[in-house]
Amino acid sequence: MRLRGPDAAGQWFSDDRRVALAHRRLSIIDVADRANQPMLGREGDLAIVFNGEIYNYRELRDELREDFDTTSDTEVLLRLYRREGAAMLPKLRGMFAFCIWDERTRTMFLARDPYGIKPLYYANDGTTVRVASQVKALIAGGAVSTARDPAGIAGFLLRGSVPEPFTMYWSIRAVPAGSWMTITPAGASQPVPYFSLAAVLRDAVHSRSHSQRERQEIIRDAVAESVRYHLVSDVPVGAFLSSGRDSSTVVALAAETGTLMRTVTLRFEEYFGTRKDEAPLAEVVARQYGTQHATWTLTGQRFRDELPNALDAMDQPSIDGLNSYFVCKAASELGWKVALSGTGGDELFGGYSTFRIIPRLVRSLGLFRHLPTAARAFERGYSKVMPKSHAKFSPKTAHTLKYAHSYEGAYLMKRGLFLPEELPDVVGDETAEEGLKRLGILDLIRETITPDPGSAFARVAALEAALFMRNQLLRDIDWASMAHSLEVRVPLVDAFLLRKVAPAVFTSLRRDGKELLAHSPKTPLPESILTRRKTGFTLPINDWLEHEHREVPHSFGMRPWALFLYQQSLAT
């Protein structure tokens, strides 16, 4: 936890010593000691610990019309809670996880931002409830059971990350994104949702349509506004810059505000001279918008030397976190404290191939939802032609008819790492059976598109944002950035932005949201960025990874890396 907040540390105990709050601070807004935490209300009956930022805190402060002792967003939260309680949450534009102790009602109030950008975990043993920003922090306290949860294990191997609310431990759960809960002497309440991504998309799908010009204006104005809010800081703000449209757009819109931007690009030695090398085009963008730019090269040797530190920082196993770790390391070595990221553009504007493939699978194979015997017959036939022992046997092909007839099944097929049928070979029959039963992976996926968002495009957007982005990308950004005492902000992951742009994105039959996003800056993006094919931001891990798992059948792609991480998680 020390690296999450190297600037200050504090703790507070209630008079009866039954409640304790502790905090490590990374000072960004009101860096003076007066804004350190835990922070007490002026009346002495409220105390808060808060992780994140409230970007519209100045407007909320003005609305309160009260005298303040600091210029921090933390004090605004305290004052707003005193006046409105949980009703304040929809007003907060930001990323946050916080706990407020209310002595008046002997209640601890916990809340998490709509997208779950900031994590919040709790362990309730029936006597004591413990809460922290990291799973490892709860384990390090020594009073929480370290028994592994088969559901967390199964979830990781199926998805490449542990799906919330599960963790790798029986005793620890995540507070759901967009929810609040309370802890009283009688115990912990069930989480109460205040935000539903699927409901916002449903409302957008059924709203009035817009002309192409209106759509462009809505997206440009809303994204530019979000970038402006995400620049609120009392310390300099930089930005991660790849050769993709999303990060380039964020940098361009930030430059429009007159902010002198600093940018950094992560480059891989193995990609020099190939189309995967992000650095040359990123430098073109940096020159276009006048940023102070740096390129940070990661070699295989540097990766191997740093890997133990990265694994130690990884809060829960994730197959996709090391790219974030190393770009955050680059920013930290440049002396940065805050960075913007283009994460979220693909989920909101339809940039993944899943937006095309999943609806196509469901349309083509939907009939087989009601024909399970046909699915089993296909599996048997495929296995005869291509036995499991054959090197080219594909588990996903074998089970296509079983899963791909529904959105939840097709999403598991497309985004899945292993399939449920393969887990016994990886973790044994008992762990696989218990884990799959507790996890209920198809029901868990289905919940993210309930209520029904109303269109194929919106369903995939909800799936990608609530599962891949929340459980993997955002969680990875948090632990990877905090390991380097860096705050990463995501302007394209913002509930206020979502509500404004969703009608422009999801009512049109034209799936051109990414193009409209890329044409948002007043100074156009370089043509080389606009015409570049999407490559994604990945590390050549399989080229660097010295650990192989040939004993597991069909160990290809990211599977060897996932198995390595799984074994590492068991050893720590």
Structure letter (DSSP) for residue 134: -
Q: Residues near 346 by Cβ (< 8 Å), separated by ≥ 6? A: 246, 352, 464, 514
3-state secondary structure of 279: helix
Which pLDDT score, from 0 to 100, does residue 533 have?
Answer: 80
Domains defined along the chain, listed by start: 2-195 (3.60.20.10), 198-351+473-535 (3.40.50.620), 354-453 (no CATH)
Q: Which tokens belong to 194?
A: 């205040």
Instruction: Give the phi and the psi of residue 512 in degrees, each rounded to 5.
Output: -120, 25
DSSP H/E element including 305: helix 300-313
Q: How many CB atoms lie within 10 A of CB 295?
A: 17
pTM score of the predicted model: 0.94
CA distance 99 to 182: 9
The residue whose two tokens read 């790219």 is: 323
CA distance 406 to 403: 7
Residue 435's alpha-carbon distances to 166, 305, 396, 569, in angstroms, are: 11, 34, 20, 16
Which pLDDT score, from 0 to 100, does residue 421 have?
Answer: 93
Q: Residues near 280 by Cβ (< 8 Å), separated by ≥ 6? A: 243
CA distance 538 to 440: 29
Q: Which tokens belong to 375?
A: 């699915």
Q: Which tokens belong to 199?
A: 């409901």
Let me know: does 405 contact 532? Beta carbons within 8 Å: no
| H-only helix segments in 133-258 | 135-140, 150-159, 197-205, 212-230, 245-256
Which pLDDT score, from 0 to 100, does residue 393 have?
Answer: 60
The residue whose two tokens read 């809060």 is: 315
The residue whose two tokens read 């804004």 is: 35
Which pLDDT score, from 0 to 100, does residue 409 have?
Answer: 96
Let me know: does 33 contact 7? Beta carbons within 8 Å: no
Which pLDDT score, from 0 to 100, does residue 553 have?
Answer: 44
Which pLDDT score, from 0 to 100, does residue 387 have?
Answer: 59
| Series of mean pLDDT values for 10-residue runs along the chain (572 residues) | 85 95 95 96 96 98 96 98 98 99 98 99 95 96 94 97 97 98 95 98 92 96 98 97 96 95 94 88 97 95 92 94 95 98 97 96 83 71 61 71 92 94 95 98 97 96 98 98 98 99 90 94 95 73 58 62 89 76
CA distance 321 to 400: 29
Let me know: does 368 contact 268? Beta carbons within 8 Å: no
Instruction: State the DSSP string of 443-486.
Output: HHHHHTT-S--SSHHHHHHHHIIIIIIIIIIIHHHHHHHHTTT-
CA distance 340 to 489: 5
Which pLDDT score, from 0 to 100, does residue 271 have?
Answer: 86
Ranges assigned E (strand) in 258-403: 262-268, 292-298, 338-340
Let me know: does 113 contact 52? Beta carbons within 8 Å: yes
Which pLDDT score, from 0 to 100, does residue 44 have?
Answer: 93
> In Å, how far from its chain's centre is CA 523?
30
